[in-house]
């Protein structure tokens, strides 16, 4: 393994998602938050996201102490929004961002990963139309630009939008429409390599065509066989995850060495957060995967500090 990183500006981290965490507190299927942080440290990572708001404590002081105790740096948080629904949804998103920033801001994090509302439930059933009307697209795009400006002006924070499976922004066409229709000054992109590949979009093309918008990364891979089954059987995303749709590298797609080379060529500091969806899972499962994944990315030349 390289003693000096080939990509010194790509900072490897992880997230509660890689420990089977999808929900705030109170879910008995999820790894307890203190065990999560202990195992992040044990795996070698030094960077971690906050995860679903409320999974870790909502007290900035507790977070500061918990992360410092383990030598961890907080990279950002996540907020789910439904901005295609208009002005009321935008106001709720602002309030949710305020709550998120009250926790992560005092701990030095300024990236807020904004995820769009999905249209399937845990069983894979449709809960809304999978397509947006022209007016809903307009509300989504203008609302996202407004939210990004609000975050920058009020909190000095960066909105990084996360395209997502079973949402209205997932395919190549939808992602490009989103990026072309939002303000590049206030709306940046979280390249989730797994969700992009799952939806049939092109990670390398996005990096090549929108290099300035790539300001945050989620690293994951998709199992090709499960992806094919999803298409054939028209499965929802949550059932696909339970089938093992997301896998540790280098077992799936996209090809990581070529993607890391493209991200490294951007020559900017980037948090690259491992985020392998696997909900629910046995509590003993994540740590060995996290250690192998850490070692894999280290062997690819990423910046790590075990």
pLDDT digit string, tens, across residues 170-181? 999 999 999 999
Residue 73 lies in a domain: yes
75, part of any domain: yes
Residue 26 pLDDT: 87
**CA 57 – CA 216 distance, rounded (Å):** 24
Q: What is the mean pLDDT of the chain?
A: 96
Look at the chain and report how many structural domains it folds into.
1
Question: Is 129 within a domain?
Answer: yes
Whether residue 164 lies inside any domain: the answer is yes
Binned at pLDDT 50, 70 and 90, residue 306 comes out as very low
Is the residue at 1 inside a domain? no
Phi/psi of residue 160, nearest 5 degrees: -120, 110
Report d(CA 162, CA 190) in Å as an integer: 5
- Return the half-sphere exposure (C-beta side, CA atoms, 13 A cut-off) of residue 79: 31
Q: How far apart are CA 211 and CA 174, in angstroms?
A: 17
**Stretch 250-264: mean pLDDT, rounded?**
97
pLDDT at 179: 98
- Give the tens place of pLDDT for each residue, 187-207: 999 999 999 999 999 999 999
Where does the pLDDT of residue 1 fall: very low under 50, low under 70, confident under 90, or very high at 90 and above?
very low
User: For 267-288, how does the pLDDT look when each residue is reduced to its tens digit (9 = 90+)?
Assistant: 999 999 999 999 999 999 999 9
Query: Would you state the pLDDT for residue 303?
Result: 79
Residue 2, domain member (yes or no): no
The CATH number of residue 15's host domain is 3.20.20.150
Residue 97 has pLDDT above 70, yes or no: yes
Mean pLDDT on 8-17: 96
Using the predicted structure, report yes or no on whether residue 142 has a pLDDT greater than 70.
yes
Q: What is the pLDDT of residue 160?
A: 98
How far, CA to CA in Å, does 251 sit from each of 17, 27, 58, 246? Answer: 18, 29, 36, 9
Per-residue pLDDT at 305 exceeds 80: no
Domain that holds residue 18: 7-303
CA–CA gap between residue 127 and residue 119 (Å, rounded): 5
pLDDT tens-digit series, residues 105-133: 999 999 999 999 999 999 999 999 999 99
150-155 average pLDDT score: 98
Residue 207 placed within a domain: yes
């Amino acid at each position: 393994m390289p003693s000096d990183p080939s990509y010194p500006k790509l900072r490897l981290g992880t997230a509660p998602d890689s420990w089977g965490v999808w929900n705030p507190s109170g879910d008995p299927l999820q790894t307890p938050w203190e065990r999560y942080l202990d195992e992040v440290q044990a795996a070698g990572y030094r960077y971690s996201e906050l995860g679903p708001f409320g999974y870790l404590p909502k007290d900035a002081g507790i977070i500061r102490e918990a992360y410092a105790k383990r030598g961890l740096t907080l990279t950002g948080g996540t907020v789910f929004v439904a901005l295609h629904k208009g002005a009321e949804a935008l106001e709720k998103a602002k309030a949710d961002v305020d709550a998120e920033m009250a926790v992560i801001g005092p701990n030095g994090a300024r990236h807020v990963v904004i995820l769009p509302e999905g249209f399937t439930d845990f069983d894979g059933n449709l809960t809304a139309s999978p397509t947006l009307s022209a007016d809903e697209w307009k509300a989504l795009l203008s609302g996202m630009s407004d939210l990004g400006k609000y975050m920058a002006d009020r909190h000095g924070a960066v909105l990084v939008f996360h395209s997502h499976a079973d949402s209205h922004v997932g395919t190549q066409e939808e992602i490009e429409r989103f990026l072309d229709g939002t303000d590049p000054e206030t709306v940046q992109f979280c390249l989730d390599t797994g969700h992009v590949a799952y939806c049939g979009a092109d990670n390398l093309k996005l990096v090549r065509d929108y290099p300035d918008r790539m300001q945050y990364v989620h690293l994951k891979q998709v199992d090709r066989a499960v992806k094919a089954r999803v298409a054939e059987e028209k499965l929802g995303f949550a059932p696909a995850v339970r089938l093992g749709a997301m896998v540790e590298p280098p077992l799936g797609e996209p090809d990581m060495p070529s993607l890391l080379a493209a991200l490294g060529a951007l020559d900017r500091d980037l948090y690259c957060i491992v985020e392998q969806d696997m909900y629910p899972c046995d509590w003993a499962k994540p740590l060995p995967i996290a250690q192998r994944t850490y070692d894999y990315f280290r062997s690819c030349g990423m910046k790590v500090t075990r």
